[in-house]
Amino acid sequence: MDSHNQLFILLCVSLLLLSGQMGLQVEAGRHHLHHPSRELFIFGDSYVDTGNTPKSQAGSWKQPYGITFPRKPAGRFSDGRVLSDFIAKTLGLRSPIPYKFRKIVPKHYLKYGMNFAYGGTGVFDTSTSGPNMTAQIDSFNQLIQENVYTPSDLSKSIAYVSVSGNDYNFYLATNGSLPGFPSFIASVVKQTTADLIHLQSIGFKRIVVGALQPLGCLPLATAQTSFQSCNSTFNDLVTLHNNLLNQSVTKLNQESNDHNTFTILDLFDGFRTVLNNPSSHNIKERLKPCCFGVSSEYNCGSVDENNVKKYLVCENPESTFFWDRLHPTQAGWNAVYSELEKKDLYKLLY
Ligand SMILES: *[C@@H]1O[C@H](CO)[C@@H](O)[C@H](O)[C@H]1NC(C)=O
Ligand SMILES: *[C@@H]1O[C@H](CO)[C@@H](O)[C@H](O)[C@H]1NC(C)=O
Ligand SMILES: *[C@@H]1O[C@H](CO)[C@@H](O)[C@H](O)[C@H]1NC(C)=O
Ligand SMILES: *[C@@H]1O[C@H](CO)[C@@H](O)[C@H](O)[C@H]1NC(C)=O
260 lines ligand 4 (CB under 6 A): no
Query: Of the ligands numbered here, which is closest to the C-alpha atom of 266?
Result: 4
Residues 126, 303: Cα–Cα separation, whole Å: 25
- What is the per-residue pLDDT for 176? 85
Nearest alpha carbon, ligand 4 atom 4: 246
DSSP code at position 158: E
Residue 181: nearest ligand to its CA?
2
Assess whether the C-beta atom of 134 lies below 6 angstroms from ligand 1: yes
Which of 85, 16, 11 is closest to 50 using CA atoms? 85
Of all ligands present, the nearest one to the C-alpha of 237 is: 3
Which of the residues 45, 46, 153, 157 is marked catalytic? 46
Nearest in space to 93 (alpha carbons), one of 25, 150, 152, 44: 25
pLDDT in tens, the chain (350 residues): 333 444 334 333 333 333 333 434 333 433 444 444 689 999 999 999 999 999 888 789 999 999 999 999 999 999 999 999 999 999 999 999 999 999 999 999 999 999 999 999 999 999 998 999 999 999 999 999 999 999 888 988 999 999 999 999 999 999 889 899 999 999 999 999 999 999 999 999 999 999 999 999 999 999 999 999 999 999 999 999 999 999 999 999 999 988 889 999 999 999 999 999 999 999 999 999 999 999 988 999 999 999 999 999 999 999 999 999 999 999 999 999 999 999 878 777 77
pLDDT score for 346 = 73
3-state secondary structure of 40: strand
From the CA of 130, how far away is ligand 3's center (Å)?
Answer: 29
32 catalytically annotated: no
In angstroms, what is the span from residue 198 Cα to ligand 4's centroid?
Answer: 22
Query: Is 199 in contact with 205 (CB distance < 8 Å)?
Result: no
CATH fit for domain 3-283+340-349, picks 2.60.40, 3.30.200, 3.30.310, 3.40.50: 3.40.50
Rounded Cα gap, residues 244 and 210, in angstroms: 13
**Tell me, what's the pLDDT at 88?**
96
**What is the DSSP secondary structure assignment for residue 108, as one 8-state letter?**
G
How far does residue 246's CA lie from ligand 4's centre (Å)? 6
> Which sequence spans correspond to the domains of the chain?
3-283+340-349
Report residues whose beta carbon is within 6 angstroms of any ligand 3 atom.
231-234
3-state secondary structure of 132: coil
Express each pLDDT in 149-165 by its tens digit: 998 889 889 999 999 99
Q: Where are the beta strands (DSSP E) in the chain?
A: 40-43, 97-98, 113-115, 158-161, 206-210, 262-265, 291-293, 311-313
Distance (Å, rounded) from C-alpha 312 to C-alpha 73? 16
Query: From ligand 3's centre to the CA of 176, what distance in Å?
Result: 12
The pLDDT of residue 37 is 65
Contacts of 325 (CB under 8 A, 6+ apart): 218, 219, 220, 223, 289, 292, 299, 300
To the query of whether residue 327 is one of the catalytic residues in this protein, the response is yes
CA distances, 166 to each of 72, 80, 118, 169, 312 (Å)? 26, 21, 11, 5, 25
Q: Is the CB of 129 under 6 A from ligand 1?
A: no
Instruction: Output the CA 62–ligand 2 centroid distance in Å.
Output: 36
Q: Which of 167, 171, 184, 188 to mutate to test the pocket of ligand 2 (most atoms within 8 A of CB)?
A: 184
pLDDT at 17: 36
Q: Which of 45, 167, 195, 324 is catalytic?
A: 324
Q: pLDDT value at position 191?
A: 98
Rounded Cα gap, residues 106 and 92, in angstroms: 19
Question: Residue 36: its pLDDT value, please?
Answer: 42
Question: What pLDDT does residue 257 have?
Answer: 83
Smallest Cα–Cα separation from 61: which of 45, 72, 46, 69?
Answer: 72
Report the nearest-CA residue for atom 11 of ligand 2. 175
Atom in ligand 2 nearest the alpha carbon of residue 174: 13
CA of 228 to the centre of ligand 3 (A): 13
Residue having the nearest C-alpha atom to atom 3 of ligand 3: 233
pTM for the whole structure: 0.89
List all residues 6 or more positions away from 145 whose beta carbon is below 8 Å from its beta carbon: none
Ligand 4 in reach of 249 Cβ (< 6 A): yes
